[in-house]
Structure 1
Protein backbone atom coordinates (compact mmCIF):
# COMPACT_ATOMS: atom_id res chain seq x y z
CA UNK A 1 0.00 0.00 0.00
CA UNK A 2 2.87 2.37 0.76
CA UNK A 3 4.20 1.83 -2.77
CA UNK A 4 0.79 2.60 -4.25
CA UNK A 5 0.49 5.74 -2.11
CA UNK A 6 3.87 6.97 -3.36
CA UNK A 7 2.88 6.26 -6.96
CA UNK A 8 -0.40 8.16 -6.59
CA UNK A 9 1.44 11.09 -4.99
CA UNK A 10 3.82 11.16 -7.97
CA UNK A 11 0.89 11.07 -10.40
CA UNK A 12 -0.78 13.98 -8.59
CA UNK A 13 2.44 16.00 -8.58
CA UNK A 14 2.94 15.51 -12.32
CA UNK A 15 -0.70 16.34 -13.00
CA UNK A 16 -0.39 19.56 -10.98
CA UNK A 17 2.68 20.52 -12.99
CA UNK A 18 0.56 20.36 -16.15
CA UNK A 19 -1.82 22.93 -14.60
CA UNK A 20 0.47 25.91 -13.88
CA UNK A 21 -2.39 28.29 -13.08
CA UNK A 22 -4.39 26.49 -10.36
CA UNK A 23 -1.46 24.19 -9.58
CA UNK A 24 -1.54 21.66 -6.76
CA UNK A 25 -4.08 23.45 -4.50
CA UNK A 26 -6.64 23.71 -7.29
CA UNK A 27 -6.08 20.15 -8.44
CA UNK A 28 -6.40 18.76 -4.92
CA UNK A 29 -9.64 20.66 -4.35
CA UNK A 30 -11.04 19.26 -7.60
CA UNK A 31 -9.94 15.69 -6.82
CA UNK A 32 -11.38 15.72 -3.31
CA UNK A 33 -14.70 17.05 -4.62
CA UNK A 34 -14.85 14.68 -7.60
CA UNK A 35 -13.56 11.48 -5.98
CA UNK A 36 -13.53 11.84 -2.22
CA UNK A 37 -10.70 10.50 -0.08
CA UNK A 38 -8.75 8.31 0.11
CA UNK A 39 -7.60 8.41 -3.51
CA UNK A 40 -7.00 5.21 -5.45
CA UNK A 41 -5.91 4.16 -8.93
CA UNK A 42 -9.43 2.81 -9.53
CA UNK A 43 -10.97 6.19 -8.71
CA UNK A 44 -8.51 8.00 -10.99
CA UNK A 45 -9.44 5.59 -13.81
CA UNK A 46 -13.08 6.77 -13.62
CA UNK A 47 -12.20 10.46 -13.83
CA UNK A 48 -12.95 12.50 -16.98
CA UNK A 49 -11.81 15.88 -18.27
CA UNK A 50 -15.36 17.17 -17.93
CA UNK A 51 -15.57 16.17 -14.27
CA UNK A 52 -12.18 17.75 -13.55
CA UNK A 53 -13.32 20.99 -15.16
CA UNK A 54 -16.52 21.31 -13.11
CA UNK A 55 -15.36 19.94 -9.74
CA UNK A 56 -14.95 22.20 -6.69
CA UNK A 57 -16.99 25.01 -8.19
CA UNK A 58 -14.99 25.01 -11.42
CA UNK A 59 -11.59 25.74 -9.89
CA UNK A 60 -10.01 24.21 -13.03
CA UNK A 61 -12.54 25.66 -15.48
CA UNK A 62 -10.08 28.17 -16.97
CA UNK A 63 -7.34 25.61 -17.59
CA UNK A 64 -6.76 24.83 -21.30
CA UNK A 65 -8.41 21.58 -22.37
CA UNK A 66 -5.05 20.23 -23.56
CA UNK A 67 -3.59 20.87 -20.09
CA UNK A 68 -6.53 19.07 -18.45
CA UNK A 69 -6.06 16.09 -20.78
CA UNK A 70 -2.38 15.97 -19.90
CA UNK A 71 -3.15 16.17 -16.18
CA UNK A 72 -5.69 13.36 -16.52
CA UNK A 73 -3.14 11.28 -18.42
CA UNK A 74 -0.72 11.61 -15.51
CA UNK A 75 -3.40 10.78 -12.94
CA UNK A 76 -4.38 7.64 -14.83
CA UNK A 77 -0.79 6.57 -15.48
CA UNK A 78 -1.12 6.82 -19.27
CA UNK A 79 1.82 9.22 -19.70
CA UNK A 80 5.26 7.70 -19.07
CA UNK A 81 7.33 9.36 -16.38
CA UNK A 82 10.63 10.85 -17.54
CA UNK A 83 13.36 10.89 -14.90
CA UNK A 84 14.17 14.53 -14.19
CA UNK A 85 17.91 14.02 -13.94
CA UNK A 86 18.19 11.99 -17.15
CA UNK A 87 21.22 13.11 -19.16
CA UNK A 88 20.72 15.62 -21.93
CA UNK A 89 20.57 14.05 -25.40
CA UNK A 90 23.70 14.07 -27.56
CA UNK A 91 24.11 17.13 -29.78
CA UNK A 92 24.98 17.31 -33.46
CA UNK A 93 26.39 20.85 -33.86
CA UNK A 94 25.92 22.73 -37.09
CA UNK A 95 28.17 25.55 -38.32
CA UNK A 96 26.50 28.69 -39.63
CA UNK A 97 25.71 28.20 -43.30
CA UNK A 98 26.26 24.43 -43.18
CA UNK A 99 22.56 23.69 -43.85
CA UNK A 100 21.32 26.04 -46.60
CA UNK A 101 17.57 26.56 -46.65
CA UNK A 102 17.18 25.45 -43.03
CA UNK A 103 15.34 27.01 -40.09
CA UNK A 104 15.87 26.80 -36.34
CA UNK A 105 13.14 25.20 -34.24
CA UNK A 106 12.79 24.92 -30.46
CA UNK A 107 10.75 22.14 -28.85
CA UNK A 108 9.57 22.35 -25.23
CA UNK A 109 10.63 19.20 -23.38
CA UNK A 110 10.47 17.71 -19.90
CA UNK A 111 13.26 15.21 -20.51
CA UNK A 112 15.16 13.22 -23.09
CA UNK A 113 14.35 14.02 -26.71
CA UNK A 114 10.59 14.23 -26.18
CA UNK A 115 8.18 16.95 -27.27
CA UNK A 116 6.26 16.74 -24.00
CA UNK A 117 6.75 20.19 -22.48
CA UNK A 118 4.32 23.00 -21.68
CA UNK A 119 5.82 26.22 -23.06
CA UNK A 120 6.89 28.42 -20.16
CA UNK A 121 6.81 25.54 -17.66
CA UNK A 122 9.03 22.89 -19.25
CA UNK A 123 12.44 21.75 -18.03
CA UNK A 124 14.33 22.48 -21.24
CA UNK A 125 14.15 23.30 -24.94
CA UNK A 126 15.50 21.04 -27.67
CA UNK A 127 16.84 23.24 -30.47
CA UNK A 128 16.97 21.74 -33.95
CA UNK A 129 18.30 22.96 -37.27
CA UNK A 130 15.74 21.70 -39.76
CA UNK A 131 15.95 21.52 -43.54
CA UNK A 132 13.88 19.63 -46.08
CA UNK A 133 16.21 16.61 -45.85
CA UNK A 134 18.16 17.00 -42.62
CA UNK A 135 17.34 17.32 -38.93
CA UNK A 136 20.03 18.10 -36.34
CA UNK A 137 19.75 18.62 -32.60
CA UNK A 138 22.18 21.51 -32.20
CA UNK A 139 21.48 22.72 -28.66
CA UNK A 140 19.83 21.75 -25.37
CA UNK A 141 18.78 24.75 -23.28
CA UNK A 142 17.72 24.35 -19.67
CA UNK A 143 14.74 26.49 -18.73
CA UNK A 144 15.19 29.28 -16.18
CA UNK A 145 14.19 28.77 -12.57
CA UNK A 146 10.47 29.34 -11.85
CA UNK A 147 9.57 32.90 -10.93
CA UNK A 148 6.75 35.39 -11.28
CA UNK A 149 4.46 34.49 -14.18
CA UNK A 150 5.25 37.55 -16.32
CA UNK A 151 9.01 37.32 -15.74
CA UNK A 152 9.02 33.56 -16.33
CA UNK A 153 7.24 33.93 -19.66
CA UNK A 154 9.63 36.63 -20.83
CA UNK A 155 12.63 34.51 -19.80
CA UNK A 156 11.38 31.52 -21.79
CA UNK A 157 10.69 33.69 -24.85
CA UNK A 158 14.21 35.13 -24.63
CA UNK A 159 15.65 31.62 -24.41
CA UNK A 160 14.18 30.68 -27.81
CA UNK A 161 14.34 34.14 -29.36
CA UNK A 162 16.81 33.06 -32.05
CA UNK A 163 14.44 30.35 -33.34
CA UNK A 164 11.90 30.64 -36.15
CA UNK A 165 9.35 28.25 -34.59
CA UNK A 166 8.71 26.82 -31.13
CA UNK A 167 6.66 23.69 -30.42
CA UNK A 168 4.83 23.03 -27.15
CA UNK A 169 2.20 20.57 -25.97
CA UNK A 170 0.39 23.52 -24.44
CA UNK A 171 0.73 27.18 -25.46
CA UNK A 172 -1.25 29.74 -23.49
CA UNK A 173 -2.64 32.91 -25.05
CA UNK A 174 -0.15 35.16 -23.27
CA UNK A 175 2.80 32.98 -24.29
CA UNK A 176 1.57 32.93 -27.89
CA UNK A 177 1.34 36.72 -27.96
CA UNK A 178 4.82 37.10 -26.44
CA UNK A 179 6.36 34.68 -28.93
CA UNK A 180 4.76 36.31 -31.95
CA UNK A 181 5.80 39.74 -30.73
CA UNK A 182 9.37 38.40 -30.59
CA UNK A 183 9.07 37.06 -34.15
CA UNK A 184 8.90 33.39 -33.10
CA UNK A 185 6.08 31.32 -34.60
CA UNK A 186 4.24 29.12 -32.01
CA UNK A 187 3.13 25.59 -32.91
CA UNK A 188 0.80 23.67 -30.59
CA UNK A 189 1.57 19.93 -30.75
CA UNK A 190 -0.56 18.27 -28.05
CA UNK A 191 0.32 14.76 -29.24
CA UNK A 192 3.72 14.88 -27.55
CA UNK A 193 5.98 11.91 -28.25
CA UNK A 194 9.44 11.92 -29.86
CA UNK A 195 10.41 15.42 -30.95
CA UNK A 196 11.77 14.25 -34.29
CA UNK A 197 8.41 12.67 -35.14
CA UNK A 198 6.70 16.01 -34.49
CA UNK A 199 9.11 17.74 -36.89
CA UNK A 200 8.75 15.33 -39.83
CA UNK A 201 5.57 17.06 -41.14
CA UNK A 202 7.47 20.36 -41.06
CA UNK A 203 10.19 18.83 -43.23
CA UNK A 204 7.51 17.73 -45.70
CA UNK A 205 6.32 21.35 -45.93
CA UNK A 206 9.90 22.55 -46.46
CA UNK A 207 10.26 20.07 -49.33
CA UNK A 208 7.11 21.38 -50.97
CA UNK A 209 5.80 24.94 -51.09
CA UNK A 210 6.27 26.69 -47.74
CA UNK A 211 4.18 29.79 -47.04
CA UNK A 212 5.92 33.13 -47.74
CA UNK A 213 6.97 33.95 -44.16
CA UNK A 214 8.60 30.52 -43.80
CA UNK A 215 10.20 30.74 -47.23
CA UNK A 216 11.77 34.06 -46.23
CA UNK A 217 13.27 32.42 -43.15
CA UNK A 218 14.69 29.71 -45.43
CA UNK A 219 16.04 32.26 -47.90
CA UNK A 220 13.81 31.02 -50.77
CA UNK A 221 10.83 32.43 -52.69
CA UNK A 222 8.22 29.94 -51.52
CA UNK A 223 4.74 30.28 -52.98
CA UNK A 224 2.30 33.14 -53.50
CA UNK A 225 -0.65 33.05 -51.10
CA UNK A 226 -4.06 33.44 -52.82
CA UNK A 227 -5.98 36.50 -51.63
CA UNK A 228 -8.53 34.26 -49.91
CA UNK A 229 -5.95 31.81 -48.56
CA UNK A 230 -5.12 31.02 -44.97
CA UNK A 231 -1.67 32.27 -43.99
CA UNK A 232 -1.46 29.75 -41.15
CA UNK A 233 0.89 26.80 -41.42
CA UNK A 234 -1.05 23.54 -41.16
CA UNK A 235 0.97 20.48 -40.24
CA UNK A 236 -0.34 17.00 -40.99
CA UNK A 237 -1.97 15.54 -37.92
CA UNK A 238 -1.68 18.82 -36.02
CA UNK A 239 -3.94 21.84 -35.57
CA UNK A 240 -3.49 25.02 -37.57
CA UNK A 241 -0.61 27.17 -36.45
CA UNK A 242 -1.29 30.81 -35.72
CA UNK A 243 -0.09 32.88 -38.65
CA UNK A 244 2.69 35.40 -38.64
CA UNK A 245 2.18 38.67 -40.49
CA UNK A 246 3.63 38.74 -44.01
Structure 2
Protein backbone atom coordinates (compact mmCIF):
# COMPACT_ATOMS: atom_id res chain seq x y z
CA UNK A 1 0.00 0.00 0.00
CA UNK A 2 1.54 3.29 -1.10
CA UNK A 3 1.67 5.52 1.98
CA UNK A 4 2.41 8.54 -0.24
CA UNK A 5 -0.87 8.09 -2.15
CA UNK A 6 -3.22 7.84 0.84
CA UNK A 7 -3.20 9.02 4.42
CA UNK A 8 -2.04 6.75 7.21
CA UNK A 9 -5.51 6.86 8.78
CA UNK A 10 -7.21 5.81 5.54
CA UNK A 11 -4.65 3.03 5.05
CA UNK A 12 -5.49 1.75 8.54
CA UNK A 13 -9.22 1.79 7.79
CA UNK A 14 -8.67 -0.11 4.53
CA UNK A 15 -6.79 -2.76 6.49
CA UNK A 16 -9.56 -3.00 9.10
CA UNK A 17 -12.29 -3.10 6.44
CA UNK A 18 -10.43 -5.90 4.63
CA UNK A 19 -10.39 -7.95 7.83
CA UNK A 20 -14.19 -7.63 8.00
CA UNK A 21 -14.53 -9.39 4.63
CA UNK A 22 -13.99 -13.11 3.96
CA UNK A 23 -10.74 -14.14 2.26
CA UNK A 24 -9.73 -10.51 1.80
CA UNK A 25 -6.51 -8.72 2.62
CA UNK A 26 -5.70 -5.03 2.27
CA UNK A 27 -4.17 -5.55 -1.18
CA UNK A 28 -7.34 -7.15 -2.55
CA UNK A 29 -9.62 -4.45 -1.14
CA UNK A 30 -7.27 -1.73 -2.38
CA UNK A 31 -7.48 -3.09 -5.93
CA UNK A 32 -11.29 -3.11 -5.78
CA UNK A 33 -11.40 0.44 -4.43
CA UNK A 34 -8.99 1.60 -7.13
CA UNK A 35 -11.23 0.11 -9.81
CA UNK A 36 -14.29 1.63 -8.13
CA UNK A 37 -13.16 5.23 -7.65
CA UNK A 38 -9.71 5.49 -9.22
CA UNK A 39 -6.47 6.87 -7.84
CA UNK A 40 -5.65 8.72 -5.75
CA UNK A 41 -7.93 7.38 -3.04
CA UNK A 42 -9.30 10.32 -1.07
CA UNK A 43 -11.78 10.81 1.75
CA UNK A 44 -14.13 12.61 -0.65
CA UNK A 45 -14.12 9.69 -3.09
CA UNK A 46 -14.58 7.14 -0.29
CA UNK A 47 -17.61 9.12 0.92
CA UNK A 48 -19.24 8.68 -2.49
CA UNK A 49 -19.07 4.88 -2.57
CA UNK A 50 -22.36 3.07 -2.08
CA UNK A 51 -23.05 -0.63 -1.60
CA UNK A 52 -23.94 -1.31 -5.24
CA UNK A 53 -20.79 0.39 -6.50
CA UNK A 54 -18.63 -1.68 -4.17
CA UNK A 55 -20.35 -4.92 -5.21
CA UNK A 56 -19.98 -4.25 -8.93
CA UNK A 57 -16.40 -2.94 -8.90
CA UNK A 58 -13.66 -4.96 -10.58
CA UNK A 59 -16.10 -7.17 -12.50
CA UNK A 60 -18.09 -7.99 -9.38
CA UNK A 61 -15.17 -9.05 -7.19
CA UNK A 62 -17.37 -8.79 -4.09
CA UNK A 63 -20.68 -9.68 -5.75
CA UNK A 64 -21.04 -12.91 -3.77
CA UNK A 65 -20.13 -11.42 -0.38
CA UNK A 66 -23.04 -11.15 2.05
CA UNK A 67 -24.47 -7.63 2.06
CA UNK A 68 -24.26 -7.21 5.87
CA UNK A 69 -20.51 -7.89 5.69
CA UNK A 70 -20.04 -5.45 2.82
CA UNK A 71 -22.13 -2.83 4.60
CA UNK A 72 -20.01 -3.23 7.71
CA UNK A 73 -16.77 -2.97 5.73
CA UNK A 74 -18.08 0.16 4.02
CA UNK A 75 -18.95 1.71 7.38
CA UNK A 76 -15.37 1.09 8.53
CA UNK A 77 -14.01 2.77 5.40
CA UNK A 78 -16.18 5.82 6.02
CA UNK A 79 -15.83 5.91 9.81
CA UNK A 80 -13.22 8.68 9.74
CA UNK A 81 -15.69 10.98 7.98
CA UNK A 82 -18.15 10.97 10.88
CA UNK A 83 -15.92 10.56 13.90
CA UNK A 84 -17.92 10.98 17.12
CA UNK A 85 -17.17 14.05 19.20
CA UNK A 86 -16.10 13.84 22.82
CA UNK A 87 -18.24 15.54 25.45
CA UNK A 88 -17.08 17.20 28.64
CA UNK A 89 -17.48 15.23 31.84
CA UNK A 90 -16.46 15.81 35.45
CA UNK A 91 -16.77 13.17 38.16
CA UNK A 92 -20.12 13.63 39.90
CA UNK A 93 -21.88 15.13 36.87
CA UNK A 94 -24.08 12.05 36.39
CA UNK A 95 -25.09 10.39 39.70
CA UNK A 96 -26.06 6.74 39.37
CA UNK A 97 -24.10 6.33 36.16
CA UNK A 98 -21.60 3.73 34.97
CA UNK A 99 -18.58 4.04 32.72
CA UNK A 100 -18.37 1.63 29.81
CA UNK A 101 -15.76 0.85 27.18
CA UNK A 102 -16.80 -0.27 23.70
CA UNK A 103 -14.26 -2.16 21.58
CA UNK A 104 -14.72 -0.87 18.04
CA UNK A 105 -13.07 -0.65 14.66
CA UNK A 106 -15.49 1.76 12.99
CA UNK A 107 -16.54 3.97 15.91
CA UNK A 108 -20.18 3.04 15.37
CA UNK A 109 -20.47 -0.63 16.29
CA UNK A 110 -19.04 -2.94 18.91
CA UNK A 111 -17.24 -5.05 16.33
CA UNK A 112 -13.77 -5.44 17.80
CA UNK A 113 -11.81 -8.30 19.31
CA UNK A 114 -10.27 -7.18 22.59
CA UNK A 115 -6.73 -7.84 21.42
CA UNK A 116 -6.98 -6.24 17.98
CA UNK A 117 -9.68 -3.53 17.97
CA UNK A 118 -8.53 -0.11 16.77
CA UNK A 119 -10.13 1.93 19.56
CA UNK A 120 -12.01 1.93 22.84
CA UNK A 121 -14.88 4.41 23.00
CA UNK A 122 -15.53 5.41 26.60
CA UNK A 123 -19.07 6.42 27.59
CA UNK A 124 -20.55 7.60 30.86
CA UNK A 125 -24.10 6.26 30.96
CA UNK A 126 -27.03 6.97 33.28
CA UNK A 127 -30.71 6.11 32.94
CA UNK A 128 -31.44 9.27 30.94
CA UNK A 129 -28.09 10.44 29.55
CA UNK A 130 -25.00 9.13 27.79
CA UNK A 131 -21.79 11.03 27.03
CA UNK A 132 -18.81 9.99 24.96
CA UNK A 133 -16.03 11.16 27.26
CA UNK A 134 -12.97 9.66 25.59
CA UNK A 135 -11.64 7.68 22.62
CA UNK A 136 -8.55 5.64 23.46
CA UNK A 137 -6.04 4.23 21.03
CA UNK A 138 -4.87 0.80 22.27
CA UNK A 139 -1.80 0.66 20.04
CA UNK A 140 1.43 0.44 21.97
CA UNK A 141 3.39 3.69 21.49
CA UNK A 142 6.65 3.50 19.56
CA UNK A 143 9.59 2.91 21.86
CA UNK A 144 7.50 1.56 24.74
CA UNK A 145 8.34 -2.02 25.67
CA UNK A 146 5.32 -4.01 26.82
CA UNK A 147 5.55 -7.61 28.00
CA UNK A 148 1.82 -8.31 27.87
CA UNK A 149 -0.30 -6.57 25.22
CA UNK A 150 -3.58 -7.71 26.77
CA UNK A 151 -2.60 -6.39 30.20
CA UNK A 152 -1.64 -3.07 28.58
CA UNK A 153 -5.06 -2.85 26.92
CA UNK A 154 -6.90 -3.78 30.10
CA UNK A 155 -5.05 -1.12 32.10
CA UNK A 156 -5.99 1.42 29.44
CA UNK A 157 -9.67 1.06 30.40
CA UNK A 158 -9.31 0.24 34.10
CA UNK A 159 -11.46 3.24 35.06
CA UNK A 160 -14.42 1.56 33.33
CA UNK A 161 -16.87 -0.79 35.03
CA UNK A 162 -18.12 -2.58 31.91
CA UNK A 163 -16.46 -3.58 28.64
CA UNK A 164 -18.48 -4.49 25.55
CA UNK A 165 -16.59 -6.63 23.04
CA UNK A 166 -17.25 -8.83 20.01
CA UNK A 167 -14.81 -11.48 21.23
CA UNK A 168 -12.09 -12.07 23.81
CA UNK A 169 -9.83 -14.96 24.77
CA UNK A 170 -9.88 -16.61 28.18
CA UNK A 171 -6.49 -15.32 29.44
CA UNK A 172 -7.32 -11.78 28.34
CA UNK A 173 -10.75 -11.97 30.00
CA UNK A 174 -9.07 -12.98 33.27
CA UNK A 175 -6.87 -9.86 33.14
CA UNK A 176 -9.93 -7.70 32.49
CA UNK A 177 -11.86 -9.17 35.42
CA UNK A 178 -8.83 -8.84 37.70
CA UNK A 179 -9.01 -5.05 37.23
CA UNK A 180 -12.66 -5.01 38.30
CA UNK A 181 -14.05 -4.63 34.78
CA UNK A 182 -17.11 -6.69 33.80
CA UNK A 183 -16.63 -8.02 30.23
CA UNK A 184 -19.77 -8.37 28.10
CA UNK A 185 -19.16 -10.51 25.02
CA UNK A 186 -21.85 -9.90 22.42
CA UNK A 187 -23.34 -12.67 20.25
CA UNK A 188 -23.00 -10.50 17.14
CA UNK A 189 -22.17 -7.01 15.95
CA UNK A 190 -24.36 -4.37 17.60
CA UNK A 191 -24.37 -0.60 17.34
CA UNK A 192 -23.06 1.31 20.31
CA UNK A 193 -26.26 3.37 20.29
CA UNK A 194 -28.39 0.22 20.74
CA UNK A 195 -26.13 -1.09 23.50
CA UNK A 196 -26.43 2.18 25.40
CA UNK A 197 -30.24 2.13 25.07
CA UNK A 198 -30.34 -1.42 26.43
CA UNK A 199 -28.08 -0.49 29.33
CA UNK A 200 -30.18 2.57 30.15
CA UNK A 201 -33.29 0.38 30.31
CA UNK A 202 -31.54 -1.91 32.79
CA UNK A 203 -30.29 1.02 34.88
CA UNK A 204 -33.77 2.56 35.00
CA UNK A 205 -35.38 -0.75 35.95
CA UNK A 206 -33.95 -3.44 38.20
CA UNK A 207 -30.19 -3.61 37.67
CA UNK A 208 -28.43 -6.81 38.75
CA UNK A 209 -26.55 -6.53 42.06
CA UNK A 210 -23.09 -6.20 40.45
CA UNK A 211 -24.31 -3.28 38.33
CA UNK A 212 -26.16 -1.66 41.22
CA UNK A 213 -22.91 -1.80 43.20
CA UNK A 214 -20.89 0.10 40.59
CA UNK A 215 -23.75 2.61 40.33
CA UNK A 216 -23.21 3.42 43.99
CA UNK A 217 -26.46 1.89 45.27
CA UNK A 218 -26.40 1.12 49.00
CA UNK A 219 -26.08 -2.53 50.04
CA UNK A 220 -29.61 -2.63 51.51
CA UNK A 221 -31.05 -1.38 48.23
CA UNK A 222 -28.96 -3.89 46.27
CA UNK A 223 -30.57 -6.65 48.36
CA UNK A 224 -33.95 -5.19 47.43
CA UNK A 225 -32.99 -5.30 43.74
CA UNK A 226 -31.89 -8.92 44.08
CA UNK A 227 -35.18 -9.95 45.72
CA UNK A 228 -37.15 -8.21 42.96
CA UNK A 229 -35.10 -9.91 40.25
CA UNK A 230 -35.65 -13.38 41.74
CA UNK A 231 -39.32 -12.78 42.46
Contact 1:115/1:168, CA 8 A, preserved across alignment: yes
The yes-or-no answer on 1:162 pairing with 2:159 is: yes
Does 2:198 correspond to 1:201? yes
The counterpart of 1:14, out of the listed 12, 19, 30, is 19
Match of residue 126 from structure 1: 121
Structure 1 residue 109 corresponds to structure 2 residue 114 = no
Structure 2 segments unaligned to the other structure (5+ residues): 1-13, 26-60
Say whether the 8 Å CA contact 1:143–1:156 is kept in structure 2: yes
Residue 176, structure 1, aligned to residue 178, structure 2: no
Task: Please say if residues 168 and 187 of structure 1, whose CA atoms lie closer than 8 Å, have aligned partners that are also in contact.
Answer: yes
Partners in 1 of 2:153 and 2:110 — Cα distance? 16
> Corresponding residue for 2:73?
80
In the superposition, relative to structure 1, how do residues 167 and 12 fare at CA in structure 2: closer, same or farther (>3 Å)?
Answer: closer
- SS, match of residue 83 in structure 1: helix
Q: From the two aligned structures, give the one with the greater helix fraction.
A: 2
User: In the alignment, what sits opposite 2:41?
Assistant: none
Deviation per CA, 1:85-131: give whole Å up to 9, x if none. 71642011211101000010000010233222111210000000011
Q: Which residue number corresponds to residue 153 of structure 1?
A: 150
Give, in angstroms, the shift of residue 44 of structure 1: 6.0
- 1:14-53 counterparts in 2 under 5 A? 14-15=19-20, 41=62
- 1:95 paired with 2:100, answer no
Moved over 3 A (4+): 9-13, 40-45, 145-150
Q: 1:179 to 1:84 in 2, by over 3 A?
A: farther
1:139–1:102 distance in 2 versus 1, CA, 3 Å? same
Please give the alpha-carbon distance, in whole angstroms, between the structure 2 residues aligned to 1:179 and 1:193: 21
Q: Is the 8 A contact 2:110 2:165 kept in 1?
A: yes
| Equivalence for 2:57 | none
| Offset of residue 42 of structure 1 | 6.5
Q: What is the number of residues matched between the two proteins? A: 174
Q: TM-score scaled to structure 2, two decimals?
A: 0.63
Give the 3-state SS of the residue equivalent to 2:149 in structure 1: helix
The alpha-carbon distance between structure 1 residues 42 and 83, as it changes in their structure 2 partners (threshold 3 A), is closer
The two structures, once aligned, show a CA RMSD in angstroms of: 3.6
Q: What per-residue deviation string (whole Å, max 9, x for no partner) do you get for residues 176-229 of structure 1? A: 111111110000124324212112111111111212221121111344336xx6
Residues 45-64 of structure 1: pairs in structure 2 closer than 5 A: none
Query: Where do 5+ consecutive residues of structure 1 fail to align?
Result: 1-8, 19-23, 25-39, 46-72, 230-246
